[in-house]
Amino acid sequence: VIAANAFGFSTNWITEWYAFDADVARELGLGAGERIAGFIHIGTATEAPVERERPDLAAITMRW
């Protein structure tokens, strides 16, 4: 992902319901005990990504 971005490509790592679906795992030929971590999409963007809303860091982190 980092190398693709460095070469100017857009990337997205998605872990959705289909990463945990037994039928998807079977179709991809996964063996017993193998799991999908996610799906990486690499391509050329036609427009800038829309920034999503993110939580305030102070609300989800603490200093220790």
Q: What is the per-residue pLDDT across 10-57, written as a single tens digit (0 to 9) for each?
A: 999 999 888 999 999 999 999 999 999 999 999 999 998 888 899 999
pLDDT recorded at residue 3? 97
Q: What sign results for the dihedral spanned by CA atoms 22, 25, 27, 32?
A: negative
Q: What sign results for the dihedral spanned by CA atoms 52, 16, 5, 57?
A: positive
Q: What is the residue type of 9?
A: F
Six-digit token string for 41: 């999409």
pTM above 0.75, yes or no: no
- Here the contacts of 20-24 (C-beta below 8 Å, separation 24 or greater) are none
pLDDT recorded at residue 22? 92
CB 43 within 8 A of CB 9: yes
